[in-house]
Structure 1
Amino acid sequence: MKHPVDVHVGKRIRHRRWMIGMTQQQLADQVGIKFQQIQKYETGMNRVSASRLWDIADALDVGISFFFEGLSEESVAETEVAGDILSDKEALALVRSYYAIPEAQRRRLFELAKVLSDAA
């Protein structure tokens, strides 16, 4: 059974990798493992050792604490019950595209999305 902390860390790995446009293969190459192992980490199927998390943090250019941000006893309980938007590839692609839009246009798009979601 997957532990909620392992799932959270895996999602944070996937989130950061997606945000910088890195493939699983590229991350695996930088860390010195096979991409299948990255898949297992990202789904929480395998736990990430401390030394491997250090290498992944270095490859993704973040501090170790990045992988634990947003983690609390309450969020562990929520992770066990609710799905996470970061697990949806389409949602991540949308977020990446959204942040590629200039800030002024992004604000207008955000306001439009709020109006449309209220209308639905």
Structure 2
Amino acid sequence: MSAIDETAKIDIYLGKKIRLMRISRGLRQKHVAEAIGVSFQQLQKYENGTNHIRANRLYALAVFFRVDPSYFFEGLEQEGESALPFEELLKKAETEKLIKYFNNAANDNVREKILNMVKIAAK
């Protein structure tokens, strides 16, 4: 794989992670874009992996979402190994609802119980 192909793969993966974080927080592209100083169209291009995101913008997103910048790279090595590709999961309405409900859970203890319940149901 060429360096250009690898860069495109990373851009697409970062975009997926940005979109997942935005959806999980129940935010519109316009709101996130304004917070980091870009147009909503630019954020849309980041989320689609169409445009390369610079380090300073990625850092601004990490600050805005209150996550470590490494969040955006977690799981990059395993991308493509799952039975259902990441982007297909995000297209499902149920996934968006699940993420929102999970994020709105009362506390970490409740979220841990939800994870255990899902783990049992998935067996």
Q: Indicate the TM-score class for this superposition, using the shorter chain for normalisation.
A: 0.7 to 0.9
Q: Which residue of 2 is the match for residue 16 of structure 1?
A: 21
Q: CA deviation at 1:97?
A: 2.2
Contact 1:28 1:35 in 2 (8 A): yes
Length-normalised TM-score, structure 2: 0.71
Contact 2:15 2:49 in 1 (8 A): yes
Give me the identity figure in percent. Answer: 30
Report the count of equivalent residues: 111
Deviates more, 1:2-11 or 1:97-106: 97-106
Q: Which residue of 2 is the match for residue 88 of structure 1?
A: 91
Deviates more, 1:40-49 or 1:14-23: 14-23
Given residue 11 of structure 1, which amino acid in structure 2 is its aligned partner? K
Length-normalised TM-score, structure 1: 0.72
List gaps (5 residues or longer) in structure 2.
Answer: none
Partner SS, residue 18 of structure 1: helix
Given residue 10 of structure 2, which amino acid in structure 1 is its aligned partner? V
Which residue of the other structure, out of 68, 73, 76, is the alignment partner of 1:68? 73
Q: 1:35 to 1:107 in 2, by over 3 A?
A: closer
Q: Which residue of 1 is the match for residue 45 of structure 2?
A: 40
Q: 1:107 to 1:44 in 2, by over 3 A?
A: closer
Given residue 88 of structure 1, which amino acid in structure 2 is its aligned partner? K
Question: Aligned equivalents of 2:116 and 2:63: distance in 1?
Answer: 36
User: Do structure 1's residue 26 and structure 2's residue 31 form an aligned pair?
Assistant: yes
Of structures 1 and 2, the larger Rg is shown by 1
Q: Which residue of 1 is the match for residue 57 of structure 2?
A: 52
List gaps (5 residues or longer) in structure 1.
Answer: none
Q: CA deviation at 1:83?
A: 2.7
Report Cα offsets for 1:67-108 as digits up to 9, x if no partner: 000111x53xx27xx631453251122232245467398479
Let me know the Cα RMSD of the aligned residues: 3.1
Given residue 97 of structure 1, which amino acid in structure 2 is its aligned partner? Y
